[in-house]
Amino acid sequence: MLRAALRTSFVIATLLFLGACEPLPEPKASFEVAVQGSHMGRLSNNGSRAIIGSINHGGSLWQVLKKERLYDWNHSKEKTTLVAAAFSPEGDWAMTSDSHSIVLWKVESGEAFRFWTAPGEVLSIALAPNGEYALLGMADHSAVIFDSKRGGVKRRFNHSGRVRSVDLSADGKLALTGSEDRSSTLWSVASGKALQTMQHEEDVQLVRLSPKGDRALSAAKYDKAVVWNTSNGKAIGEIPLSAEKIKRGLRFSAARFSSSGRYLLVGRPDQRVQLWDTKSMKTLAEWGVLKRDAWKPTSAAIQDVAFASAKRTYYAIASNGFIHQLER
């Protein structure tokens, strides 16, 4: 009887273990955009276009639905190592940056519209409607409003640490900055005044605004990701990250709000993409993207995510050089 009971317990434990290890849903479709992987990748709002900073082939613009490379986007005759990029909200303009220069591009024609020397080391970019100006996150502990079409810094938002991540509301009136000084700050673009600040216990590595500017996400490594109300600075909900620290050093490497702000799509460095409900703060769906070589100890950080025009369809760029189509 004892042996039978032990055998039954073992079988149940095994089944529970296998259930817990059940693989995540995989992408419905994937295609390669960089043979040896990418330094950075950025999607347009609806995921129809992608800027890829390839390790071997420099910068390029892709048409995602057709899986087609449209234009080479390099800053000189040499292949450019892109460090940051962004699309304008309507998707007609784009900006790319390397270590010392920034270029404003016309998406439809692929033409380089303006070429500027960067006002310092650029870490992140957000682009305003019609590409009129860019919000640049800088290594010199500031974020700046840079006039994309006429040149020059128009406004500066100061932090006491490097500004790792920036974002703009869809109308370009609100700016959000995330810094290694452990804070994310909401600013008025018109007045330059700080409107709200969310304090973290670790460096803030990722910030995002909902298109309407009413909700913000700020995520700090090994601390927490907070979705908060921009009108009063109060947290709507938190996604704890510290509990996962020992397991995998969890953080978010990409995020985007849906057009209504109700949903939040996030990417992680461990090949995972998650869809969150920002009201209940519950995970609605989760996917695992494929490694380039299933038998080697490689991984794929998610560099950007987007809600597609089609319902329950999403896109993700992975650092191993693939764009994935996900469906719920």
| Cβ neighbour number for residue 315 with a 10 Å cutoff | 26
| Euclidean distance between CA atoms 118 and 218, whole angstroms | 26
Q: Is residue 181 part of a domain?
A: yes
Q: Is residue 179 part of a domain?
A: yes
| Euclidean distance between CA atoms 94 and 127, whole angstroms | 7
Q: Is residue 193 part of a domain?
A: yes
Q: Is residue 1 part of a domain?
A: no
Q: Is residue 15 part of a domain?
A: no
Q: Confidence band (pLDDT; 50, 70, 90) for 223?
A: confident
Domain count, the chain: 1
Q: Is residue 89 part of a domain?
A: yes
CATH of the domain at 192: 2.130.10.10
Average confidence (pLDDT) over 32-47: 95
Segments forming the whole domain that contains residue 313? 25-327
Reported as a single tens digit per residue, the pLDDT across 173-210 is: 999 999 999 999 999 999 999 999 999 999 999 999 99
Q: Is residue 228 part of a domain?
A: yes
Reported as a single tens digit per residue, the pLDDT across 134-175 is: 999 999 999 999 999 999 999 999 999 999 999 999 999 999
Q: Is residue 20 part of a domain?
A: no
